[in-house]
Amino acid sequence: MKANELLNYNNWVVVGDVLNPSKYACKILNSLKTYGFNVVGVNPSIENKGVYNTLSDVPYKIEVLNLCINPYKGIKIIKEAYALKIERVLIQPGAESLEILEFCSINGIHAIEGCTLVELSKNRIK
């Protein structure tokens, strides 16, 4: 599976600092919304501020997890994704680690390293 194929799925979640406009997680979340995706933000460090705290809080079946968080926190998110049977993850530059990639490989999660903003700009028309 390639990164651009993930754009065929509608139900996304972006994990990271989704409330800070200077961070890529926020830019990715807003871009996905602009392009019509069903998407919400998750930030495990924030509670009750307009974003979800965990993946299990999201009220729909997540088809694509967009990981935009440091790998130390990211592995915990990936393990929760596995428990929730989320099968696809797009790992942004800087969010990857050998531990995350190995966990995904062993557990049947399609882990793709790439950039959502690049894929959207190449494959979607506003």
Q: Where are the beta strands (DSSP E) in the chain?
A: 11-16, 38-42, 64-68, 88-91, 110-113
Query: Under CATH, what is the fold of the domain 3-115?
Result: Rossmann fold (3.40.50)
Q: Where are the domains of the chain?
A: 3-115
- Residues in a beta bridge with 111: 89
For residue 50, what pLDDT is reported?
77
Biggest alpha carbon distance in the chain? 37
For β-strands 64-68 and 110-113, DSSP reports them as unpaired
Local structure of residue 44 (DSSP, 8 states): T
Alpha-carbon dihedral sign for residues 87, 88, 94, 95:
negative
Query: What's the predicted TM-score (pTM) here?
Result: 0.91
Instruction: State which residues of the chain have pLDDT below 50.
Output: 126
For residue 126, what pLDDT is reported?
46
